[in-house]
Amino acid sequence: MIKAEGQKPGIDELVVLAKEAGFTYAAPLAMESLEFREEVRSMCSADLCKSYGKSWSCPPAVGSIERARERAENYHRGIIVQTAGALADSFDMDGTAAIMQRHRKNFDTLVRQVKHFYPDCLPMGAGTCRMCRSCTYPDRPCRHPDRMVSSMEAYGLLVSDVAIRSGLKYNYGENTMCFTSCVLID
């Protein structure tokens, strides 16, 4: 699937690559759906994910919404990817963690492959950065500022809106869980 050096895969080929990496769903990213919203930052500060103020990849350390918008506006294409799976019931925390783990593994594989062709691509993950066993925030600088991955939410994106406008679902039904990420290129 991966082309020879010098031949960059287009969006449709990256979608195929994403499915080969293990994602349940993948699609071209609707760039017009990337709206950087202060209200998503308010959701972050409610700290339901227990990551607010605990990582260089998350608010407030990650910087302003304006900075997020400026960074993303350098890119003109992208793909959106999802890992979905069934849960035993709506309290199935182990099942949720297993799907998240699969999603992170799929995303690491995909980002590695996309970077081969697009070294300056911008990955936006699901959840806080897990590059290090323990984040250095706030005592020391980030160990890997070039590899740190912030979540779509940290960029101020409403993930459900981006997924639906890109032709995917956000919720795949009762007793399922789905994690969503994206990679911007060009």
Residues lying near ligand SF4 in the complex (CB under 6 A): 55-57, 129, 131-132, 135-137, 142-144, 148
**Nearest distance in Å: CB 110, ligand SF4:** 18
Quick count: other Cβ atoms within 10 Å of Cβ 12? 10
Residue closer to ligand SF4 by CB (options 56, 179) is 56
Residue closer to ligand SF4 by CB (options 105, 143) is 143
- In Å, what is the CA distance from 85 to each residue of 88, 109, 143, 176? 10, 19, 33, 6
What is the longest distance spanned by two Cα atoms in the chain?
48
Of 24, 41, 64, 43, nearest in space to 181 by CA? 24
**Nearest distance in Å: CB 63, ligand SF4:** 13
Of 130, 128, 123, 22, nearest in space to 80 by CA? 123
**Nearest distance in Å: CB 128, ligand SF4:** 8
Residue closer to ligand SF4 by CB (options 149, 184) is 149
Residue closer to ligand SF4 by CB (options 135, 182) is 135
- In Å, what is the CA distance from 158 to each residue of 16, 80, 91, 152? 25, 13, 24, 8
**Nearest distance in Å: CB 134, ligand SF4:** 7
DSSP of 147-183: T---BTTTTT--HHHHHHHTT--S--STTEEEEEEEE
Residue closer to ligand SF4 by CB (options 10, 53) is 53
**Nearest distance in Å: CB 62, ligand SF4:** 9
